[in-house]
Amino acid sequence: MSPSSVAFLFPGQGRIPDSLPTHEASFQPLLALTSQAGLELDAWIERNDTDRLTQTDAAQPALYLDSLSRDRTLKRKGWTPSCTAGHSLGEYAALTSAGVLEPTPCMRAVLERGRLMNPIRGAMAAIVKLEIETVRELCQGTDAVLANHNGRTQVVISGTQAAVDTVMKAASDAGGKAIPLKVSGPFHSPLMQPAQDELAGVLESLEFASPSIFVISGVSGRTEMSGGVLKELLCRQITAMVRWVDVMNELERLGIETAIEVGSGDVLTRLGKRSGSSVRFMTYQEALDESL
């Protein structure tokens, strides 16, 4: 596989990892940071404590660790990406993989991100079978906003519970299908502004290097090769819409042939396959099997 034709795609908050890389010495400083924050991630995973692990302050560092571990495994197996992108939280792993952020300071930022976002309550829902402009119109006059543009007819909305419920009903009446998401907060909405403002101070203190490979930002939907621009975009990310359709279009523009979902699930793989893209989308396990 030509290294110029491979992209690593990192998913956002979703599935709980089956394990953490506790056996790898290089991950010990990151695991120590989670322990210092009062998070017993490995114990919670061993006990399958889903109630605790799905809370934002625990889910985000656990997923960041899982993503980094899978990233390193794929690279050891011979997969060399020329491009990375991440969906929401996944951008932190994407930036680490591309050499923009070092793992330890990035983990500190992820821990703060989860801590700041955790207490903000709201709801999110996926709206399918309707195009983005239709969903945008349904949100008008409510506190709900567009949070993710994941596909031509898949949009995620975010806001207060009442506003999301209103738009879900309107979407169903308009011929769409509304699916509530199992999250505790209104991610990528203005309700997250207090968390974004505080996190910006943390991110401003970090050094963002220029990427060693292409990085596609989920905030701009474009390839960004400046560390300063990537920092500015990440500072706005918590309230900004995830432009995943634009990210997938950019993969084609860059000539990417294969995009690997660097996570335990297949959400990004399924979105890619449904998009009609010429890119071949693969799960992590499929990539491992092919590298043997």
Whether CATH 3.40.50.2300 fits 3-118+189-291 = no
Half-sphere exposure of 173 (CA within 13 A, CB side): 7
Residue intervals of the chain classified under CATH 3.30.70.250 are 123-180
Tell me which residue of 34, 26, 43 sits closest to 64, measured CA to CA: 34
Residue intervals of the chain classified under CATH 3.40.366.10 are 3-118+189-291
d(CA 114, CA 116): 6
Distance from the Cα of residue 202 to its chain's centroid: 19
Q: Are 100 and 215 in contact (CB under 8 A)?
A: yes
CATH number among 3.40.50.1100, 3.30.70.250, 3.50.50.60, 3.30.1330.10, domain 123-180: 3.30.70.250
With a cut of 70, which residues of the chain have pLDDT below it?
1-4, 292
The identity of residue 34, as a single letter, is T
pLDDT attached to residue 14: 80
pLDDT attached to residue 1: 44
19 is catalytic: no
Pick the catalytic residue: 82, 158, 188, 217?
188
* pLDDT digits 0-9 by tens, 86-119: 999 999 999 999 999 999 999 999 999 999 999 9
Pick the catalytic residue: 88, 158, 220, 275?
88
* pLDDT digits 0-9 by tens, 113-124: 999 999 999 999
Tokens of 226: 């400046």
pLDDT attached to residue 17: 86
23 is catalytic: no
Q: Which residues contact 216 (CB under 8 A, 6 or more apart)?
A: 83, 84, 85, 222, 223, 224, 247, 250, 251, 254
Tokens of 112: 């703060």
